[in-house]
Amino acid sequence: MIRIKFTTPAETAEKLRTSSLSMSPDLSSVPRIIEDVKRRGDKALRYWSKKLDSVSPQDFRVSDEKIEQARANLQRESLDALLTSAKTIRKCAEEIMHNIRETSFSLDGLDVFVDFSPVESVLCYAPGGNFSLPSSLLMSAVTAQVAGVKNIYASSPNPSEALLAAASIAGVKNLYRLGGAQALAAFAFSTESIPKVDMIVGAGGAYVTEAKRLLFGQVGIDLIAGPTELLVIADRSGNARIIALDLLSQAEHSHDSFSAFVSPEPGLLSAVRREIAALLDTAKIPRWLSEKAKKIPAVCTSLEQAVELANALAPEHIQLMLKRPEKFAKRLTHYGALFVGRENGTVFGDYCAGTNHILPTSSAARFSSALSPLTFLRLRYRTIQKKTISPKLIQCASKLAETEGLKFHSLAASSRFRI
């Protein structure tokens, strides 16, 4: 761990982010990949899949038989865990749907209708990277199903048996062995073998996040859900080993994940540092993770300033591991998911608490929130005007148009005087 001195919330938030990041990835290839897939279709998909993911299947679509066989072959305990996770995700999503209300009202000759309808098709992207993540596919596909999306597609560069089983559990009928920016471009524009969708959802690394950003408008997206982030805030009641494990659990996602620790207790910071070192000594882990873990940033400051720092950082996950966390929880305003109390941890939100783990990152929690059934719903606000237009309204519209310099708007309004 590395110690960072608290200055202002904004400055310290920036130091936290930059201190734990490896060299920024070169994303200049993403626009080129997207344009190539748009222009050359499947030929470009095969080229980039071979170059970037070392896969070049005859058929990108995974057969139904292979998916069902993977489910049958999966270890019973792992299958039960996936089923439990899907059940809790579905229950939470259904509760949200049950509380959505359509409405209509009339106001002096104006009828207003507000209702919701799901998008027709969606790609649920499941990251490959260092790990194949069946949990991520459940989070997006089960939620889309509950929302009423008709056509749900999934894609992952190197799907494991567990991910194939997750596709079966989530009711995904079309799963593709395809990853990265090339996968998102294919579903945004369509190719000879890939259909076009209305929306792309799911977390991913820097390249996937950049592709989503560039493709927004061609397709809808859920949110900016890039490399994972965790901020742990703890007082002297915090358990150093659990804190160390929680920090490492998010760091192990990828090279560009973010974990940070804040506490007013210098002794606890030192204890967490020792626990991390001990865990690294006993576990066989990749060298990149060992190096990353040594650079997890820590800040020693008051709990009041820790809250200000958290709000400035607006991270994906916050853990409040405090003896009396309620007071501080109420003051936190920007986060993807909050875990209150020493027993709770991000790992439960990652898998089976029921809430979604596809969350805003890179401070996007300031203007967006977790993936939910609402993500897939189009809010339709429709009005029908039937009122008799009074001279007062005619005069109002005509004058405002004149004020804006729109001549024919003004005439269109004032002409009603003659009807």
Contacts (Cβ under 8 Å, ≥6 apart) of 277 = none
Verify whether residue 253 is a known catalytic residue.
no
Q: Write the Ramachandran bin of 229: left for phi over 0, alpha for psi from -120 to 50, otherwise beta.
A: beta
pLDDT tens per residue, the chain (419 residues)?
899 999 999 999 999 988 866 656 789 999 999 999 999 999 999 999 999 988 888 899 999 999 999 999 999 999 999 999 999 999 999 999 999 999 999 887 789 999 999 999 999 999 876 678 899 999 999 999 999 999 999 999 889 999 999 999 999 989 999 999 999 999 999 999 999 999 999 988 888 999 999 999 999 999 988 889 999 999 999 999 999 999 999 999 888 889 999 999 999 999 999 999 999 988 788 888 888 898 999 999 999 999 999 999 999 999 999 999 999 999 999 999 999 988 899 999 999 999 999 999 999 999 999 999 999 999 888 889 887 788 888 999 999 999 999 999 999 999 987 75
| CA nearest neighbour of 86 among 177, 172, 202 | 172
List alpha helices for 148-205, DSSP H.
Answer: 161-170, 180-189
d(CA 175, CA 64): 9
Element (H, E) at 79: helix 76-98
- DSSP character at residue 50: I
d(CA 362, CA 353): 23
Q: Which residues are paired to 155 by β-bridges?
A: 125, 176
> Could you give the C-alpha distances from 340 to 89, 291, 328, in angstroms and in order?
20, 29, 10
Contacts (Cβ under 8 Å, ≥6 apart) of 140 = 122, 124, 125, 126, 201, 202, 222, 358, 371
| CA nearest neighbour of 1 among 362, 275, 284 | 275
d(CA 340, CA 344): 6
Q: Cβ-count burial of 88 within 10 angstroms (0-12 exposed, 13-18 middle, 19+ buried)? A: middle
d(CA 277, CA 272): 9
* Residue in 161, 210, 252, 316 annotated catalytic: 316
Verify whether residue 94 is a known catalytic residue.
no
> Could you give the C-alpha distances from 187 to 180, 265, 377, 410, in angstroms and in order?
12, 50, 19, 45
* Residue in 98, 317, 326, 334 annotated catalytic: 317
> What does pTM read for this prediction?
0.91
| CA nearest neighbour of 227 among 133, 306, 142 | 133
- Here the tokens at position 377 are 């719903």
d(CA 47, CA 54): 10
